[in-house]
Amino acid sequence: MRKFLRNLFPVAFVLALMVFSGCSVPKEHRGSKDVLFQASTINALLAGVYDGDMTFRTLRQHGDFGLGTVNRLDGEMIGLDGKFYQIKTDGKAYLIPDTMKTPFAEVAFFNPDTTFKIKDSIGNYVQLKSYLSRWLSVKNIFYAIKIEGTFSYIKTRSVPSQKKPYPLLVNVVKHQATFEFHQAKGTLAGFWCPAYVKGIGVPGYHFHFITDDRKAGGHLLACRMKNVTVQIDPISAFYMVLPQSKAFDKINLTVGKQKELEKVEK
């Protein structure tokens, strides 16, 4: 089926914008292996909407793999094998309880089509993105990407919990904590999203890292690696659920925030 989708142009793409009200995607799509499910928009997060109404119990119904954050923007979130972890500014990873909520998250059921080993030395994050892009044959769909192995160098960050009135995310990251790992066994989990999601999601690559012992990690800032295993899962459908809150209703989402996003990601 995915091979057919790769050769199909224009790509079959489903976009549903729905308001969260206890349920989300239609029953026929719940548990689908080819859906990227997203809670809220990246521009809402950039604007300081840090309180969501979706619990991780609900989020888990839509994916076992992904990334995002938690309410009050208290650290970075990574999801692997159906478990979700919060990396706080102490650099440690904590298992997230079902009752905790998220203001922004992207998840999918990871079912890779492609697996390969990077045998060349990757000297930085830019080289990694260039290498991976050779394997993304269609640029109008989404990809879930998992990279596992021993990384010669990883640099990550996390952001501190915020108090109301919430500042813009571009100001929050000025106070981020950064962490460095050497010869670290672990996993990078992330997505590649097409350019047209600008304002809704994060165009291009977005990765979070966690160590094999699930004790540390964060949002990826820099990396070096060799002999790591890459798995790629093409995704041809996208569902987004919008939060029900006064904060979300009042923000201005008509203003472009791409420059702010670039500062936040770097």
Q: What is the pLDDT of residues 125-163, one digit of tens each?
A: 999 999 999 999 999 999 999 999 999 999 999 999 999
| pTM confidence score | 0.90
CA atoms within 13 A on the CB side of 198: 10
Q: Which one, of 103, 95, 240, 84, lies nearest residue 162 by Cα? A: 103
105 and 123: one domain?
no
- The per-residue pLDDT for range 7-38, each reduced to its tens digit, is 333 333 444 444 443 445 566 555 566 999 99
- What's the CATH code of the domain at 229? 3.30.1330.80
| Structural domains of the chain, count | 2
Q: What is the pLDDT of residues 47-95, one digit of tens each?
A: 999 999 999 999 999 999 999 999 999 999 999 999 999 999 999 999 9
Tell me, yes or no, whether 67 and 161 share the same domain. no
| 149 shares its domain with 193 | yes
Domain that holds residue 104: 2-110+236-265
Give CA separation, 152 vs 24, 117, 123, 133, 224, in Å.
Answer: 41, 15, 10, 21, 6
Task: Identify whether residues 103 and 130 lie together within a single domain.
Answer: no
Q: Which helix (H) or strand (E) is 56 found in, with range?
A: helix 56-60
